[in-house]
Amino acid sequence: MAEPRNRYSTVSLVLHWATAALVLAQILLITAAETEGSNRALWMMLHKSGGITILVLTLARIGWRIANPAIPLPGDLPRWQKLFARATHVLFYVVLLALPLTGWLAGSAVGRGFDYYGLFPFPLLPVGGGRETAGLLMDIHRALPKLLYVLLALHVIGALKHQFVDRDNVLHRMIPLIPRRP
């Protein structure tokens, strides 16, 4: 069946790949911070700053997405697959907001600030509750990456299925370097 000849806008492409790179960096930074003998303060400052950057990019992306409706998936894709793909995307947005927010809120609850990329003190949110609240928020912050990994696995499997099983142009829409199929 004919497929609409469109791809994601340059803004969407930049936001998608910048976020993906920053998410990968977040995991590497935490691994570095938790490595014995490492400069933990530096890696944690970069982790917190990267997380806030992801929060800002995700808010911008959701705004952009609302203003510019989604390009449709291939018309011959079964309805359940379209719903599954969209559900994965929505959950991605939820996790990309909740992860930085829980981290920021937890630090705020115990009054522990950080300098955004070492440049200026990042404001704390007006939350109280002290260590107990912070502990609860950090439990969520530690659990959410597991959901993120599951979503990422489903997302990449889905992308590969489109490319090698369905042999459609879904991956080309997000990676225009991949040649478009006729």
Chain residues in the site for ligand HEM (CB under 6 A): 16, 19-20, 23, 26-27, 30, 33-34, 47-48, 51-52, 54, 65, 70, 73, 85, 89, 92-93, 96, 99-100, 103-104, 107, 141-142, 145, 152, 155-156, 159, 170-171, 173-174
Q: Cβ closer to ligand HEM: 30 or 127?
A: 30
- Smallest gap from Cβ 69 to ligand HEM, in A, equals 10
Coil, helix or strand for 120?
A: strand
Q: Measured between alpha carbons, how far apart are the two ends of the chain, in Å?
A: 11
Q: Report residue 167 as tokens.
A: 């042999």
CA 61 to chain centre: 10
CB of 175 to ligand HEM, least distance (A): 7
Nearer to ligand HEM among residue 23 and residue 109 (C-beta)? 23
* Closest distance to ligand HEM from the beta carbon of 68 (Å): 10
Q: In terms of C-beta density within 10 A (0-12 exposed, 13-18 middle, 19 or more buried), how is residue 180 classed?
A: exposed
Least CB distance to ligand HEM at residue 107 (A): 5
Residue placing its CB nearer to ligand HEM in the complex, 34 or 128: 34
Query: Whose Cβ is closer to ligand HEM: residue 66's or residue 128's?
Result: 66
- Copy the structure tokens of residue 34: 């938790």
CB of 60 to ligand HEM, least distance (A): 12
Distance in Å, CB of 145 to ligand HEM, minimum: 4
Q: How many other C-beta atoms are found inside a 10 Å radius of the C-beta of residue 143?
A: 10
Of the pair 13, 128, the CB lying nearest ligand HEM is at: 13
**139 or 182: whose CB is closer to ligand HEM?**
139
| CA–CA gap between residue 157 and residue 31 (Å, rounded) | 25
Question: Residues 6 or more apart from 8 whose CB is under 8 A from it?
Answer: 16, 71, 173, 174
Exposure of 123 in the CB half-sphere (CA atoms within 13 A): 3
